[in-house]
């Protein structure tokens, strides 16, 4: 049983799309997506530095576009994955791969999302910090004591705290025992109350989007549930901006469904790394460059439609 996963913000690295743009079809597709998003995706995916692609209004459409062009190249000839999920902004990629949204609709959505979240982030200095290790109850208590939100629960051994820079400084000064704190390369406290200003505009845009039922199982960041109604998927995508990502529950769902193979779309490595810690025995594939496509298609064929 095959799962395709799409990464979230922070996974991007300078030049990660360079090898994909050697293909004229990909270059044309990325150009079309750039026009819809109002962002020069080819430039940001090849020439821009780490600070430039850290900007929320750039990173979000860039990541979704990367997942779409790689996903099309991988899956155009089939077979279909058994389950698809994306972490945070990656859930928009997942919505396109399962047919809920068109590529154009998704790029309009993610461009609006990125601009809205960037504007919300500018209202007050906020950020996010990963808490790796520690005793879960003690980690949760330390996050709460600092006034922070557990914005991402990424499964065994990693919770991401989000809030103001002052609150993060409190956590850094009083870390949970046996835990390591890692400052994330993001520009705001995503998936918290600080992002609520971005929700209204996104909800208005979402009301005009055409949706369809998912063509295969699509997991929700809200609770790990399989969502089978396109309008409900989009409603959850809007709500997701200001609410925590429960990737731990998505991991539980992958285990319960009996997934045997996980392929992560570019820029890959983050979600397979989490899966390695949480889903023992599941085969993993990191797709990052087009010269891996033949091996990736073999991986897909080996796992898609195969019961655990």
Give 278-293 pLDDT, tens digit per residue.
999 999 999 999 999 9
- Would the pLDDT of 78 be above 90? no
**At 307, is the pLDDT very low, low, confident or very high (cuts 50, 70, 90)?**
low
Residues taking part in catalysis: 88, 191
Q: What is the pLDDT of residue 187?
A: 79
Mean per-residue pLDDT, 227-243: 97
Q: What is the pLDDT of residue 184?
A: 86
Ordered domains of the chain (ranges, CATH): 2-122+192-303 (3.40.366.10), 126-183 (3.30.70.250)
Q: Which two tokens stand for residue 147?
A: 């006034």
Which of 170, 133, 164, 166 lies closest to 149, judged by CA?
A: 164
pTM of the model: 0.95
Order across the sheet with 261-264: list the strands: 217-218, 83-86, 2-6, 261-264, 283-286
Q: What is the pLDDT of residue 88?
A: 96
Which has more confidence, 306 or 307?
306
Asked if residues 84 and 4 have their Cβ atoms less than 8 Å apart, the reply is: yes
Q: What is the pLDDT of residue 11?
A: 92
Dmax (CA) for the chain in angstroms is: 53
**At 153, is the pLDDT very low, low, confident or very high (cuts 50, 70, 90)?**
very high
- Would the pLDDT of 308 be above 70? no
Q: What is the pLDDT of residue 186?
A: 79
Q: What is the pLDDT of residue 304?
A: 94
The mean of the pLDDT values for the chain is 96
**At 66, is the pLDDT very low, low, confident or very high (cuts 50, 70, 90)?**
very high
DSSP-derived 3-state class of residue 189: coil
DSSP string, 99-116: TSS-HHHHHHHHHHHHHH
């Amino acid at each position: 049983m095959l799962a395709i996963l799409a990464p979230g913000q922070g996974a991007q690295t300078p030049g990660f799309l360079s090898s994909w743009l050697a293909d004229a079809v990909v270059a044309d597709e990325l150009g079309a997506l750039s026009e819809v998003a109002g962002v020069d995706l080819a430039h940001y995916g090849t020439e821009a530095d780490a600070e430039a692609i850290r900007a929320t209004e750039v990173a979000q459409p860039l990541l979704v576009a990367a997942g779409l062009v790689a996903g099309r190249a991988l899956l155009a000839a089939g077979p279909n994955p058994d389950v698809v999920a994306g972490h945070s902004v990656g859930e928009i990629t997942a919505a396109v791969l399962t047919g809920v949204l068109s590529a154009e609709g998704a790029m309009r959505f993610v461009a609006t999302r990125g601009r809205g979240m960037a504007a919300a982030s500018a209202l007050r200095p906020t950020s996010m910090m990963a808490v790796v290790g520690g005793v879960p109850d003690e980690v949760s208590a330390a996050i709460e004591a600092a006034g922070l939100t557990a914005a991402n629960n990424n499964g065994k051994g990693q919770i991401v705290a989000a809030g103001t820079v002052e609150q993060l400084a409190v956590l850094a000064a009083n870390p949970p025992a046996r835990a390591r704190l890692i400052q994330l390369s993001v520009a705001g406290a995503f998936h918290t109350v600080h992002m609520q200003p971005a929700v209204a505009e996104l909800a208005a845009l979402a009301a005009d989007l055409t949706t369809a039922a998912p063509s295969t199982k699509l997991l929700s960041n809200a609770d790990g549930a399989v969502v089978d109604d396109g309008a409900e998927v989009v409603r959850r995508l809007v709500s997701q901006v200001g609410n925590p990502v429960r990737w731990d529950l998505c991991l539980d769902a992958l285990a319960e469904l009996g997934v045997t193979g996980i392929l992560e779309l570019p820029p890959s490595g983050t979600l397979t790394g989490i899966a390695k810690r949480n889903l023992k025995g599941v085969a993993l594939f990191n797709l990052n460059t087009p010269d891996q496509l033949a091996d990736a298609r073999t991986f897909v064929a080996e796992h898609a439609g195969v019961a655990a």
